[in-house]
Amino acid sequence: MKKTRDVHLKQFVKNYLAIPDTDWHLIADCFRQQQVKRGEVILESGDVCRHLYFLESGLLRYFIVKDGEEKNKFFTVAPYFFTSQYSFNNQAPARETIQAIEDSVIWETTYRENQRLLQLTSWNQFAQKITQEVQFFTEEILEELQTETAENRYIKLLNHQPELLQRIPLKHLASFLGIAPQSLSRIRKKVMAGHRS
């Protein structure tokens, strides 16, 4: 699809650091906009991730298949950058699948284009900031998995991202919390009853 507007991409990057106009023209030229339909797979497990993406609008899930069942690792909410970090950085097969939960708008740049952009001080600094932030989020999720109950994790989502609970299908949310959909239904009823009392 022909590039139309990159204002959302530019605004997101500017939230992290100032980008000189000369650098921005180079960056913008490397990104192309795509429309992704709900249910469409952006990256299949086992394939090499050849793109870095920016999610302008929509919602994505990362999942692996274990013992024949899909296990959701986490979700990406717009606006944010995403990729299969291990696969993209090493140009090796991806360990997870990335799929759109909603119709989404994404911008993509190739591995080679990103390598060239990393020669820019501004883009290099931005990439480091995003990488550190993603690592922090990942560590936080892993720590919660080890220390928090599914109910407490659900309550945290309810308190901090209530709109997300309306957008993620029940089966995907239950998988993310590591419980059966029926167990999640019981937790939701219990939490709602507690809020009313």
pLDDT per residue as tens digits for the range 94-110: 999 999 999 999 999 99
pLDDT score of 4: 47
Contact 74, 106 (CB under 8 A): no
pLDDT score of 67: 87
Provide the CB-side half-sphere exposure for 14 (13 A, CA). 10
Q: Which residues pair with 82 in a beta bridge?
A: 53
pLDDT score of 49: 98
φ, ψ dihedrals at 168, nearest 5°: -90, 125
| Residue 107 structure tokens | 């911008």
Q: Which residues contact 189 (CB under 8 A, 6 or more apart)?
A: none
pLDDT score of 5: 62
Distances (CA, A) of 103 to 41, 88, 126, 161: 11, 24, 27, 20
Instruction: Name which of 99, 132, 131 is nearest 114 in CA terms.
Output: 131
Interstrand relation of 97-100 and 104-110 (parallel, antiparallel or unpaired): unpaired
Instruction: Name which of 131, 113, 129, 104 is nearest 26 in CA terms.
Output: 113
| Residue 55 structure tokens | 């999610």
Read off the pTM: 0.90
- The region that residue 187 occupies, defined by phi over 0 for left and psi between -120 and 50 for alpha, beta otherwise, is alpha
Q: What is the largest CA-CA distance in the chain?
A: 58
Residue numbers of the chain with a pLDDT score lower than 70 = 1-5, 195-197
